[in-house]
Structure formats: C-alpha cells, structure tokens
Structure 1
Amino acid sequence: MPRRWFLTDARLGDRVWTVLAGLPQDVGVIVRVKDPKRDRRLALHLIRACRKHGLTVLLAGPVALALELKADGAHLPEAQARRGSNRRPRKQFYLTAAAHSRPALIRAARLGVNGAFLSPVFPTRSHPNARTLGPLRFGLLKQGVPVPVLALGGVDEVSAKRLAPLRPYGWGAIDAWLTNTFTKIIRSN
C-alpha cells in the first residue's frame, strides 16, 4: 500500500487534473466527491485518470460503489468503518478508514483495514477550525494499534519529517501536492 496519498477535493477545481498528471506512481489517490452516487461521472473520470497514470486509486465511499467503479479499494468515513457491508470483498482490494480518535482506530482495526488515516494532525485549510492532534497526541493515539496509521491534516514534506520519530506508516494531503516546493520534490524522486 502506498505511504503517500493525494486526496482530491472540490476546492481544487481543474487543478486536480494537473496534480494527478504529476504524481509519482508510488503515491496513492483517494477520490473524494461530495456525493459518490450523484457525482458518479466525476468519480469515474478521476478513477480513469489515475489508471492512465498508473496510480493506486481508492474511492471515498461504500465498498460496493468502489467495486462498481473499478477502484482499487475504498476509503471509509469514520462512521462507515464498522463491520457489515463495508468489509473487504477480496484480499487485493484496499480498504482504509478515517479516524479522529483512539476508539475509531480500534474500530477500523477490527474491520481489517489496510490503514487508518488519523486526523487532523496539524492545522489545515480543509477543516480550519478543527482541534488538531499535534505530533505528541498523534503518537499516543496510534500506539499499539494493530493497523498501519497514516497522518492526515496539514501534512506536507516538512511536517511529515516532524512525525518521523513517531513512525507513522505514511501520510495523506490535499494542498501539499499544489506547492512549488513539493512539485520540485516530486520531480526529484
């Protein structure tokens, strides 16, 4: 499973296509649309663009829809990360979940996810008023959790280095993939 992830966001508009075209193949993409059923066509176009660029792609939403749209897996919101219809349908299907607390991480682990995105670690434009975890709390919450935990929320190449001693599995971001600094880092990899 990739260790770095790009999460699409409606705020990006057409810039999303530029980001997708410039991502290295070791970066995964989580396609997020406001309503996966209503915005099915956009989700399908984003998934196809990821395929064209050789990227691992998950659909944020139910497992059944991710299968239908031929994504490599599904990313579940915290409330959907429970047993039942959102189980992994086959071994090769990636399943990740959002988590904002230790109980949510434990529920995700019980579901058997490949990874849980714990957030928000740092201040972020997508959730400007959210209380952040910070590195220390992030490390404490993920301690002993039997699934890979990825950092999300205000993470970029610089802040990811601050988390390195805590050994997160990886990280995900939206805005970090837009910066000139990161574009240079991508090209050098």
Structure 2
Amino acid sequence: MTSRSRILPRRWFFTDSRLGDAVREAIARLPKDVGVIVRVPSLTRDRDLARRLVAACRRRGLVVLLAGPPALALRLGADGAHLPEREARRGSGRRPKAGFRLTAAAHSRAALVRAGRLGVDGAFLSPVFPTRSHPGARTLGPCRFGLLTRGLRPALPVLALGGMDARAARRLAPLRPYGWGAIDAWVRG
C-alpha cells in the first residue's frame, strides 16, 4: 500500500440527489470515518445544492470530495475531487494545492492503470455487484474484481463500488480492496 492511501477513508457515501432529504439525513448519521462524495445532476444548475452538501459534511468533520473538476471542488470548500473515468482518461486531474485529495472512477483494468499514472489517491472500481443505481448493468463480481486489481503498478488503492455494504465488503475481503463506497448502505441506516 502506498503512503498516499493513508489519507483516504476506507468507507464512502456517494450522494444521490434522487433520494431527496434522505441524503442530508444520511450525512447527519454517518460515522466520522466515512468519507462523502457529493454528486449532483448538474454542477451548473445544482451548484447551490453541492455547496450545501459540502458544508454539511464539513460541519460534521467528514472528508468530502466533489464529483467534478478539482478547481470547483476547491472553490466549494471540498477536501478534494472525484473524477469521472473520462476525465481521468484525459489526464485532467491536476491538484490545485498540496493535500488536496483526488479519486477517480474506473470500470476496467485500463482505467485503473490510467488512474494510477495520473497519481490519484484511490480509484473506485465498479460495478462489483448488482446495484439499484445502475439496474441491469453487467457486474464484475469478486473474481473479476480480483483479476482487475491484481499487481497494479504503480500500486493504487482500489475501492469497490456497486451493490456494496458491510456484508459485500466481507465477501471481497480476501481480495484486499482498500475500501468500499455505497449509496443505499448508508441511507438504509
């Protein structure tokens, strides 16, 4: 494990605006060691919502990343940014300041390799299991997750996403993911 992985929580809540007030309620109940990735439908149209969610996380002392451009994440007061796979593919993940956390989405081995080369602090590989947010999507399952993450150079902390909760994380434990992220696991309480 690289030293860069130590700055990331091992468990994450991904916000989903379709859940309405349940998102704020989940943030209010999250354990202090859970990070939050704030996602909104449109960073142009929903910037105020993103700002309020980031502020709610900051008040609770939670690590919070904005899904979007690093410069906007910095302006909104987030601790870092979460890049979509296409942004990591373009290499557009410059850190605006030291200590700024950066993660990336990945759906393939090639995306994991690119994220590692970009120098992100971690990559969320998905979907591992069936998930309500992407119904019918082809999932990786534990075997494929393990194959995609084995022997990455440079070493990259990989977090599981998609159908994850504490039980699913225990299923993946032999594969040694760095951590996991979820929506429903935190909303259900």
Tell me if both proteins adopt one fold, taking TM over 0.5 as the criterion: yes
SS of the residue 1:162 aligns to? helix
Provide, for residues 58-97 of structure 1, a one-character-per-residue CA deviation record: whole Å limited to 9, x for no partner.
Answer: 0001111111111000000000014554212233100000
Match of 2:110 among 103, 125, 147: 103
1:141-156 aligned within 5 A? 141-145=148-152, 146-156=155-165
What is the match of residue 187 of structure 1? Answer: none
Residue 63 of structure 1 contacts residue 87 of structure 1 at CA under 8 Å; is this kept in 2? yes
What is the match of residue 48 of structure 1? Answer: 55
Measured at CA, do residues 144 and 12 of structure 1 come closer, stay the same or move farther in structure 2, by a change above 3 Å? same
Match of 1:9 among 3, 7, 16: 16
What is the match of residue 131 of structure 1? Answer: 138
TM normalised by structure 2 equals 0.92
Deviates more, 1:41-50 or 1:141-150: 141-150
Match of 2:187 among 169, 172, 178: 178
Distance, in Å, in 2 between the alignment partners of 1:174 and 1:84 is 27
2:67 equivalent to 1:60: yes
Residue 102 of structure 2 contacts residue 121 of structure 2 at CA under 8 Å; is this kept in 1? yes
SS of the residue 2:170 aligns to? helix
Match of 1:114 among 115, 121, 124: 121
TM normalised by structure 1 equals 0.92
Residue 66 of structure 2 contacts residue 78 of structure 2 at CA under 8 Å; is this kept in 1? yes
What is the match of residue 169 of structure 2? Answer: 160
Distance, in Å, in 2 between the alignment partners of 1:84 and 1:2 is 24
Gaps of 5+ in 1: 184-189
Match of 2:26 among 9, 15, 19: 19
User: Which AA in structure 2 matches 1:108?
Assistant: A
Distance, in Å, in 1 between the alignment partners of 2:140 and 2:89 is 23
User: Which AA in structure 1 matches 2:156?
Assistant: V
1:73-88 aligned within 5 A? 73-82=80-89, 84-88=91-95
- The number of aligned residues is 180
Distance, in Å, in 2 between the alignment partners of 1:18 and 1:53 is 12
Compare relative contact order (CA 8 Å, sep 6+) and give the higher one, 1 or 2: 2
Identity across matched positions, percent:
72
Distance, in Å, in 1 between the alignment partners of 2:184 and 2:55 is 22
User: Which AA in structure 2 matches 1:109?
Assistant: G
Match of 1:89 among 68, 90, 96: 96
User: Which AA in structure 2 matches 1:157?
Assistant: A
Match of 2:39 among 32, 37, 47: 32
Residue 83 of structure 1 contacts residue 111 of structure 1 at CA under 8 Å; is this kept in 2? no
Gaps of 5+ in 2: 1-7
